[in-house]
Amino acid sequence: MAEANWSVGKVAKRCGINISALHFYEQQGLIQSSRNAGNQRRYKPEVLRRISVIKAAQKVGVSLDEIKIAFESLPNNRTPTVEDWQQLSKNWQRMLDGRIAYLQTLRNNLSGCIGCGCLSMTSCPLYNPDDQLAELGSGPVLLDQAEETARL
């Protein structure tokens, strides 16, 4: 294993992120550093892979909490290997497919109502007179039902 001798500035520059982001990732338990004799943070070069995974996952909508859970599944908190990344991305793909289906349902329901220009409260599928749908659950019940139907 490589020696932890990369400075905060070097890692931040190499990864294209702010130093504050490195500190934040460390506070969240996503990356680790050690301290040198002058009490300065030092990173192993492998931290670049972890940060790359974090950045890639965030770009597709994976939350830091979800990333942390995935990293915790790695033995000894190690840097993800190619095989690890394939498994992580497979798990995230299922989640993302669900989010995409939900967004498509939302888009399709909104465009039908807003697209016609009438904004009719008698035919809008998102309208809920007298809160009749409260007994079915909280939030956008019709939208959630449409999403569930789309997944089947």
Output the CATH code of domain 1-80: 1.10.1660.10
Enter the pTM of the model: 0.65
Residue-by-residue DSSP string for 6-67: B-HHHHHHHHT--HHHHHHHHHTTSS--EE-TTS-EEB-TTHHHHHHHHHHHHHTT--HHHH
Query: What pLDDT, on the 0 to 100 scale, is given for residue 111?
Result: 59
Query: What pLDDT, on the 0 to 100 scale, is given for residue 85?
Result: 80
Where do the domains of the chain lie?
A: 1-80, 83-152
> What share of the chain has pLDDT > 70, as a percent?
75
Q: Please determine, for residue 57, whether its predicted confidence score (pLDDT) is greater than 70.
A: yes
Find which of 38-47, 66-75, 78-87, 121-130 is predicted with most confidence, using mean pLDDT. Answer: 38-47
Q: What does residue 35 show for φ and ψ, rounded to 5 degrees? A: -120, 140
Q: Please determine, for residue 43, whether its predicted confidence score (pLDDT) is greater than 90.
A: yes
Quick one: tokens of 31? 């990356």
Q: Residue 93: what residue type? A: Q
| Collapsed DSSP state (helix, strand, coil) of residue 121 | coil
- Tens digit of pLDDT for each residue in 7-25? 999 999 999 999 999 999 9
